[in-house]
Chains A and B, each alone.
Chain A
Amino acid sequence: MSKTVLLIEDEPNIIEAISFILSRDGWTVVTHSNGHDANQVIQAKSPDLVILDVMLPGKSGFDILRDLRLEHSSDALPVLMLTARGQAKDREMAETLGVNRFMTKPFSNSDVREAVRDLVQQ
């Protein structure tokens, strides 16, 4: 029974790329491409890991993360944040909100695979 990764991202090409590389590693990849119902989707799918973009239509990745961490049931759910906004303050913001890993776009595929592996096996 393979572990599930929920990818919340609005850029189709990036969805395709990440889905491809993680599926190849044996993860089950579920995708979702807008912000406003992201928290419900996380509830519904109960994934083992969430990969979250920041600039999403409807609700920003930060807001999704904050709401997620407010639900205590998901305390243990690891979140990997991927963003094109790579400034230091964005990283600080994410860490304050309780992110497990913060990565800046563009990224190398191997870094993502490694990060996913680390986060799920913890």
Chain B
Amino acid sequence: MMLNLLVAVCVGYVFFLFGIAFLAERAAKRGRGRWLRSSFVYTLSLSVYCTAWTFYGAVGYAARSGLEYLTIYLGPSLVMFGWWWILRKLVRVGRSQRVTSIADLLSSRFGKSNLLAVIVTILAVVGTTPYIALQLQSVTLSFDVFASFEDTTPFVSDQAHSALWLAAGLAVFTIVFGTRNLDVNERHHGVVMAIAVEALVKLFALIAVGAFVVWGISGGVWETLDRIDASRVAELPMNGGRWTAITFISAAAFVCLPRMFQVLVVENEHETHLRTASWAFPAYVLLMSLFVVPIAVIGLEILPVGSNPDLFVLSLPLHVGNEGLAILSFLGGFSSATSMVIVASIALSTMVSNHIVMPLWLRFGAGGASVSGDVRKVILFSRRASIAAVLFLGYSYFVLSGGGSALAAIGLVSFTGVVQVLPALLGGLFWRGATRLGAISGVLVGFALWLYTLFLPSLGDTALFSNDFLQAGPWGISWLRPQGLFGLSSMDPLVHGIFWSLSLNTIGFVFVSLVTFPSPIERLQGAQFVNVFDHSSSAKSWSGRVAPSEDLMVMTQRILGPKDAQALFLAQAQKQGVSGYLPEPTPEFLGVLERELAGSVGAATAHAMIGQIVGGMSVSVRDLMAVADETAQMMEYSNRLEAQQTELTRTARKLREANEKLTRVSLQKDAFLSQISHELRTPMTSILAFAEILRDGGAGPHEAGTRYATIIHEESLRLTRLLDDLLDLSVLENGQVNLNTSGVHLSKLVKRSVATVLAGAATPSLHVDLMVSESLPQVETDADRLGQVFINLVANARKYCDATTPRLKIVSSRAGNFIYLDFIDNGSGVPKDAQDMIFEKFSRIGQNKAGGAGLGLAICREIMTRLGGDISYLPGQGGGAFRVVLPVELAL
């Protein structure tokens, strides 16, 4: 009788929820739903945090552990009080990037990496499935409570069946209202409204039971407080470590849980709603937790020993015969369970569909976004299938785990699991240096440790994790025990698991981030996320090269539907000043389009789809620079500074070089003038002296006079020669020389030159070995100038070769287009430190012997340069050696 009523109420309540959701959707569609978007609806929707686990379980928790249950609410309250720090930024980022889930947010932040999204999705599914099972269990248990108070056979034959019915019903509701539309812009008004109503129901139910207990059973506030202090709940100590750890983990879970992210960020209508929620939500959970201890204490006191404290909220009213209140209480629990399951399955199905199904479909499906069939249908189907799959997974877990007490312990374990994304999330929001690999490493490390230290042990005595295994550790290695890693065995197992998984997660994340280098798109997204308040525009990462707008249109229509797609394209075209429906594929337009698509299919998928059409997934460094983003500007600025710096350094070096050269030239000029002065004055001195002697007539004998006149004559010739050389050099250096080229036979020219030099000497003071090949080709060159060089070299050998029997060897050779003529004597040669000096003007080998002014070799070098060849000193030939290089063809 009672149970039938219960089922009727239950079905009626579900229809009521359907009705609310339907009306809300309709009102939103007609644009009349302003009240739907109020900040109070937002606040109430956040109450999906309070699941059946907290509705029923908090009392059981308090009965077992005293005030510790409060931590589950204190954590989220602190997060809401501190909304300015994290939630504000999270919501802003979520809105500006059109984020669809927490996996999408992380993927988007870390370079639109789908791998990261897949990992987070798997983590979320693994962490959430037991939790969904827990909700199913709570509802079936509550049926059982009613059944036990009434001796009729239950309406549903066993737990598994009722859970299946429940899962199926929730799947239908979620599919109908959760996947009606695709664009997250419009959000799930129906669902949110239903959740808000459920929030009121569960709050009202719990307060009603609490008020009944305090004033109806206990007899007033003071009596209740006395009873609390007298009960065994009061004797339970407060464990500081657990207290802190659970407060922290529930605070973190409040942000990281997929369903919380869904209502906090994805369904958020306006940032100001957060401001209201920052005090209204803590007030809500305060009320939710207010009567928990009284219910627990009174329950322990008056209910028979052995009653399940997790169900006191139900069994207490039933025990005292208040069936109406019991049904209300049941509805509260039912609301808690269903709202959690609905939102969680929407959040998970979005992740599974966007990050696992869609990428697979894109890769293996009909071959690309622009050719295949209706993407919209595929997405909707994949979402619906995912919802069904998630619920089925929860149901299976419930059946397989046997629905025992093991399930009750899963709440905090589940929290710790999803919290493994926290380091990557906070790092992504506040630290530009966080990289994709860092995030992946951190999450994987945390996930693995969570599985090992918390999740697998929580399943109880299983084949994989037997009690022996837990006690002894793998292979008997005690410091690897799942609940006593590295010897930390005295810690509470939960605190232990939280400690190791999160600390190593964070270390892995930070360390890998520090040693890896992010890709351009990661850096761009990093800047967009971290500095979201500086520029709330989103990533303009597409370089619109050859993107065919029409293909984009075709694709967009399939995802957003033709009407919305056309409206979007038209608006964008008008914005660009283009008539018609096809805007230019500018980076701005592609950015807007990508964000719109991301609202439906997630950032990574949207990026991939546009990438397929636009071609080229990568963002070049140039594109990055072009984006008016702080990083780019900073980089550009510092690059410019660096360039300027290099330029300045270069200029300074040039100036310094020029200055050195000038100084050198000035010194050379100085030395040159001094040299010329000396060379001119010396013969002049002799001339003047003897001329005076002759003039004064004091020369004495006639022969002396003749001799003096001869000296004057010689010195005059010397002067003339010097002046000739200077003139010659000057002409050569200034390039004013005229070359008289003709075919020259080199061996003949060498022979003639040698003869010229040796002609003057009475006895041949130098023996010359001519080894110049007769077969050398004729060279087109200036015979007189080349002869001048040869004469100079031979004369030098005659003058300076200091061997007792001086010999000069003239050898020819050929290398490619060049002919070498080596003049090698058997003297001591040119000292090494003088070798690079001898071609300078006025440099002399040895000191001031009679003869030239030291201009000979300088002139030779000038001539050879003019003739397109070269002359150089050839060291290591066992004597003075000069090499004359001549091109076969004279290139003029």
- Chain B: which residue is nearest A16 at the CB level? B711
Total interface residues on B, CB under 8 Å, equals 27
Contact A86 B682 (CB under 8 A): no
Question: Given known contacts A17-B686, A106-B681, is B693 in contact with A10 (CB within 8 Å)?
Answer: no
Contact of B848 among A18, A55, A107 (CB under 8 A): A55
A85 at the interface (CB under 8 A from B): yes
Contact A84 B688 (CB under 8 A): no
Question: Given known contacts A57-B847, A87-B674, A106-B688, is B681 in contact with A20 (CB within 8 Å)?
Answer: no
B689 at the interface (CB under 8 A from A): yes
Contact B684 A106 (CB under 8 A): yes
- Chain A: which residue is nearest B848 at the CB level? A57
Contact B686 A13 (CB under 8 A): yes
Contact A13 B715 (CB under 8 A): yes
Contact of B847 among A58, A85, A87 (CB under 8 A): A58
What's the nearest-Cβ distance from chain A to residue B203, in Å?
Answer: 106
A76 at the interface (CB under 8 A from B): no
Contact B678 A14 (CB under 8 A): no
Which residues from chain B contact A105 at a C-beta distance below 8 Å? 681-682, 684-685
Which residues from chain B contact A84 at a C-beta distance below 8 Å? 677-682, 685
CB-contacts of B691-706 with A (<8 A)? 692-693, 696, 698
A101 to B679 alpha-carbon distance, docked (Å):
22
Contact of B689 among A17, A55, A58, A87 (CB under 8 A): A17
A21 to B684 alpha-carbon distance, docked (Å):
17
Total interface residues on A, CB under 8 Å, equals 26
A24 at the interface (CB under 8 A from B): yes
What's the nearest-Cβ distance from chain A to residue B427, in Å?
Answer: 74
Contact of A14 among B682, B693, B696, B847 (CB under 8 A): B682
Contact of A108 among B679, B688, B848 (CB under 8 A): B688
Contact A109 B689 (CB under 8 A): yes
What's the nearest-Cβ distance from chain B to residue A35, in Å?
Answer: 8
Question: Given known contacts A55-B848, A57-B847, is B685 in contact with A85 (CB within 8 Å)?
Answer: no
A13 to B687 alpha-carbon distance, docked (Å):
9
CB-contacts of B823-853 with A (<8 A)? 846-850
CB-contacts of A37-87 with B (<8 A)? 55-58, 84-87
A11 at the interface (CB under 8 A from B): yes
Contact A14 B689 (CB under 8 A): yes
What's the nearest-Cβ distance from chain B to residue A101, in Å?
Answer: 16
Which residues from chain A contact B674 at a C-beta distance below 8 Å? 85, 87
What's the nearest-Cβ distance from chain A to residue B716, in Å?
Answer: 12
Chain A residues packing against B (C-beta within 8 Å):
10-14, 16-18, 20-21, 24, 55-58, 84-87, 104-110
List 28 A-B residue pairs with CB atoms under 8 Å apart, sorted by A's residue number: A10-B847, A10-B848, A11-B686, A12-B850, A13-B714, A13-B715, A14-B685, A17-B689, A55-B848, A56-B847, A56-B848, A57-B846, A57-B847, A57-B848, A58-B847, A84-B677, A84-B678, A84-B682, A85-B674, A85-B677, A86-B677, A105-B681, A105-B685, A106-B681, A106-B689, A107-B688, A109-B693, A110-B692
List 9 A-B pairs, minimum CB-CB distance, nearest first. A57-B847, A17-B689, A84-B681, A13-B686, A105-B685, A106-B685, A106-B688, A84-B678, A106-B684
Chain B residues packing against A (C-beta within 8 Å):
674, 677-690, 692-693, 696, 698, 711, 714-715, 846-850
